[in-house]
Every structure is written in C-alpha cells, then in structure tokens.
Amino acid sequence: MGYEADKVVVDTDVLVDFLRGKKYAVDKISKMIDSKVSLATTVVNVFELSWGAYRLGRVREVEDLVEALMILSLKVEEAIKVGMEIAYLSSIGQTIELRDLLIGIIARENGYAVLTGNVKHFKRIRGLEVIPYKQE
C-alpha cells in the first residue's frame, strides 16, 4: 500500500502506541517505511513524549526512538506562521491546542503531512495534509 504523502510527521499519540508495541501502530509505521515514506517528528512531540516517559520511568525507550527519527525544530519563520494561524483561527471562532498548532505548522512549513488520531484539531490548520490514524 503506497501513501500519498512522501514525508510524514508522526504525532505523539501514534508514537506512544508504537512504543507500547500496539500492533496497529507498529504495522502502520512499518508499512510507511516499506513505502519509502520519510518519517519525522517535531521537537514538540519530543517534549510530549519525554514528559510522559519521565512520569512512567520509560525515558530510554523515548531516547532510542528519538535517535531513530528526523526531528524538526521550530524556526523563527515558523513561529511567525504559528502566530498568524492562531490569530486567524481565533478570528473565526475556532480554538486549537497550542502544541498541536506548533506541530502542524512545523510539519506544513517543512512539506510534511501529519499522521495523527487528533484529526479534528489538525484539520483546522490551513494547508496541512492530515493522515488519520485510527486503530482498527
């Protein structure tokens, strides 16, 4: 099975399921790798993962995963785009979690789609391709 996007940011919910060894997540990521999809995550996702890992004592697993992925950082230009997008969303009465907005803008500005179970929020970001992650 091929994927429309050739570059995908993997969101925290998917990475957590992957780290927990959930078959659906492992299969989804394996299929993307087999399809030569370039997988990455963002510094915001690393923050979210490490937050949970420190609470659960699973830091090494997160460190190993982070070493295996490309990590996209927040640049000044992207920070400006985040400000523009949150102002736009506010003006039309839509809210979005700031971390999701940061992840989405970092992905969009680097030419990546986002694989996430949180489609509702990410779909609000203009110009961002969102790949739904649904456990079956």
Give domain status of residue 41, yes or no.
Answer: yes
Give domain status of residue 2, yes or no.
Answer: no
d(CA 49, CA 61): 10
Q: In this model, does residue 2 exceed pLDDT 60? A: no
Give domain status of residue 119, yes or no.
Answer: yes
Give domain status of residue 64, yes or no.
Answer: yes
Judged on CB neighbours under 10 Å (0-12, 13-18, 19+), 34 is exposed
- Of 30-39, 54-63, 110-119, the one with minimum mean pLDDT is 54-63
d(CA 94, CA 109): 21
d(CA 41, CA 36): 16
Give domain status of residue 134, yes or no.
Answer: no
Q: How many domains does the chain have?
A: 1
d(CA 111, CA 21): 28
Q: In this model, does residue 56 exceed pLDDT 60? A: yes
> What is the average per-residue pLDDT within 8-22?
96
pLDDT of residue 1: 43
Give domain status of residue 16, yes or no.
Answer: yes
Residue 108 is part of which domain span? 7-128
pTM of the model: 0.92
Alpha helix segments (H runs only) across 9-97: 12-19, 23-34, 43-56, 59-68, 76-91
Q: What is the pLDDT of residues 24-36, one digit of tens each?
A: 999 999 999 999 9
- CATH code where residue 89 lies: 3.40.50.1010
Give domain status of residue 1, yes or no.
Answer: no
Give domain status of residue 136, yes or no.
Answer: no
Residue closest to 121 by CA, chosen among 90, 87, 88, 98: 98
pLDDT mean across residues, the chain: 93
